[in-house]
Amino acid sequence: MNKAFMKLNFCSLSSGSSGNCYYLGNDFHGILIDAGISATSIRKFLKNMDISMQTIMGVLITHNHIDHIRGLELLTRKNSLPAFTTHKIWKSILTPQKKISPDCIREIPLKQKFHLAGFDIEAFKVCHDAPETIGFHICAGDQKITIVTDLGHICKTASRYIKAANLLVIESNYDEQMLVNGKYPHYLKERIQSDHGHLGNHQTSAFLADIISDNLSNICLAHLSKNNNSPEIVLQTLHQTFSERGIILNGQQRISILNRNTPTDIISLIE
């Protein structure tokens, strides 16, 4: 196969507070980003998409919240899969209850490229209420993918990595009105809305309206709240914001809402 025209596939296996796991790869190798659903579900979903577990070279971990690491222990143990995250995040993950084989633990630096499965990957900090939370910027040939699933505020660094992306996975966690009027206790509403919580639909839409360019061909809206959001409201908010700002998508640009509990259609790019 001519490597210059190799297809690069992205797929979300699950996205939201019940569990996050994303796949990026080509015919030869791939990686997972987060392992927040059971290892059994990860293997099953990949098999259903004809993606061999043998091609998975590692899993990148964004932070220690359970919806991002639920399947990590079994996945690393049963598949001898290396897992990559920062020293500080490893410290927050490894507890007497959560044992990961030392052979599978890989520490990565912040804002320094490392190489895995043919990809150049950089991790960068985002604002979220875990001991440390990171986003990933992944370069595969000409394609650049940025993944930021949990963040309460988009700082300058994150913004720089997001602007460089052709494919962006960004959260649109809650509808502001639904959260305010909903049943969550006051402290939880405050936590979610804070700079270290999650991004609301209006926040994400306004940010996207600020940064959208022709380079950004795929926007995947991720980590939707079960109780305070719906795919319809996310899309409605985004389209309304774009229309108010006079932004018209160029025909090649695609917006996807990532499913909470099931895999989303594969997005194929040319590497």
Closer to Zn ion by Cβ: residue 15 or 143: 15
Rounded (10°) CA dihedral 244, 200, 267, 65: 170
Closer to Zn ion by Cβ: residue 132 or 150: 150
Q: Measured between alpha carbons, how far is 38 from 26 in angstroms, rounded to an integer? A: 23
N-term to C-term CA, the chain? 13
Closer to Zn ion by Cβ: residue 212 or 260: 260
Closer to Zn ion by Cβ: residue 133 or 237: 133
Q: Measured between alpha carbons, how far is 156 from 163 in angstroms, rounded to an integer? A: 10
Shortest separation between residue 129's beta carbon and Zn ion, angstroms: 7
Q: Measured between alpha carbons, how far is 221 from 179 in angstroms, rounded to an integer? A: 18
Closer to Zn ion by Cβ: residue 134 or 238: 134
Shortest separation between residue 4's beta carbon and Zn ion, angstroms: 36
Range 209-218 burial, b when 16+ CB lie within 10 A, else e: beebeeebbb
Shortest separation between residue 146's beta carbon and Zn ion, angstroms: 17
Alpha-helical regions (H) of 49-155: 66-69, 72-79, 87-93
Range 2-41 burial, b when 16+ CB lie within 10 A, else e: eeeebebbbbbbbbbbebbbbbbbbeebbbbbbbbbbbeb
Shortest separation between residue 153's beta carbon and Zn ion, angstroms: 14
Shortest separation between residue 29's beta carbon and Zn ion, angstroms: 26
Shortest separation between residue 238's beta carbon and Zn ion, angstroms: 20
Take residue 81 and report the two structure tokens written for it.
Answer: 């899969």
Closer to Zn ion by Cβ: residue 150 or 271: 150
Enumerate binding residues for Zn ion (CB under 5 A): 65, 67, 150
